[in-house]
Amino acid sequence: GEDVEQSLFLSVREGDSSVINCTYTDSSSTYLYWYKQEPGAGLQLLTYIFSNMDMKQDQRLTVLLNKKDKHLSLRIADTQTGDSAIYFCAEIATSGTYKYIFGTGTRLKVLA
Amino acid sequence: DGGITQSPKYLFRKEGQNVTLSCEQNLNHDAMYWYRQDPGQGLRLIYYSQIVNDFQKGDIAEGYSVSREKKESFPLTVTSAQKNPTAFYLCASSSRESYNSPLHFGNGTRLTVT
């Protein structure tokens, strides 16, 4: 079945790079997404990548996709305290039902 | 500005009472979703609707009900049959114009049942 896994916690120092990892099981997924959730709020779309791409860069964010290993990562350069949040990766199920499968979320804590 | 509005932000109920959470969107999206979020867990899909007057059960539909009488509205009722209703509930919507349309989320409703 479909499953998306993430590590639960990550702690980095301000100014360092953060790398958040995700593995997924549906090899036919076409789109993979990264969302950010701040405390008490909904999820905000950060970026997404199409499965025929290896990399996508958007300002401080770099997404890497290893389709062979079904591994997705989000790199945040020059991490700031405002980046402290929960980050979710998600894939869209390929059954045509428009169901999105979310990982458990990685809580990023940025230390000043 | 277009968006999704969930209300109220905080909701308190006694055990045994049904409660309805509101979700309204003005994005003209066809598809709407309800997710439940518990601490340390990902989002779990309760119900979703791809078109007015139609909806499907998600992974944890037991104890919940929905309706989709209007395109912009998708209310969720948490019934007394739901064994552990205390959680953070998120409503989302997406366009069906393209397959990669991302989900847009509301700011959630935190329900506490005592």
Residues 61-100 of A with CB under 8 A from B: 88, 90, 92, 97-100
Tell me the three-class secondary structure of chain B, residue by residue.
Answer: CCCEEEECCEEEECCCCCEEEEEEECCCCCEEEEEEECCCCCEEEEEEEEECCEEEECCCCCCEEECCCECCECCEEECCCCCCCCEEEEEEEECCCCCCCCCEECCCEEEEEC
The pLDDT of A53-82, averaged and rounded, is 94
What pLDDT, on a 0 to 100 scale, did the predictor assign at position B101? 82
What percent of chain B has a predicted confidence (pLDDT) above 70? Answer: 96
Q: What is the rounded distance in angstroms from the CA atom of residue A106 to the CA atom of residue A37? A: 10
- CB contacts of A88 in chain B (<8 Å) are 42-43
Pick the range with the lowest mean pLDDT from A23-37, B37-51, B52-66, B70-84: A23-37
Instruction: Of B14, B103, B92, give the one whose Cα is nearest residue B46.
Output: B92
Q: How many CB pairs under 8 A join A and B?
A: 62
Q: Does the beta-carbon distance from A33 to B105 stay under 8 Å? A: no
pLDDT at A94 over 70: no
Q: For residue B42, what pLDDT band results from cuts at 50, 70 and 90? A: confident
pLDDT at A96 over 90: no
What pLDDT, on a 0 to 100 scale, did the predictor assign at position A43? 95
The nearest CA of chain A is from the CA of B54 a distance in Å of 13
What pLDDT, on a 0 to 100 scale, did the predictor assign at position A27? 67
Does B66 or B50 have the greater pLDDT score?
Answer: B66
What pLDDT, on a 0 to 100 scale, did the predictor assign at position A1? 54
Pick the range with the lowest mean pLDDT from B42-46, B61-65, B73-77: B42-46
DSSP class of residue A40?
A: T
What pLDDT, on a 0 to 100 scale, did the predictor assign at position B106? 96
The nearest CA of chain B is from the CA of A70 a distance in Å of 18
What pLDDT, on a 0 to 100 scale, did the predictor assign at position A31? 85
Amino acid at site B75: P
pLDDT at A51 over 70: yes
Q: For residue B66, what pLDDT band results from cuts at 50, 70 and 90? A: very high
The pLDDT of B2-23, averaged and rounded, is 93
Pick from B4, B56, B100: CB nearest A31: B100
Amino acid at site B76: L
- CB contacts of A90 in chain B (<8 Å) are 103
The pLDDT of A9-38, averaged and rounded, is 90
Q: Does an H or E element contain A104, and which?
A: none
What pLDDT, on a 0 to 100 scale, did the predictor assign at position A83? 97
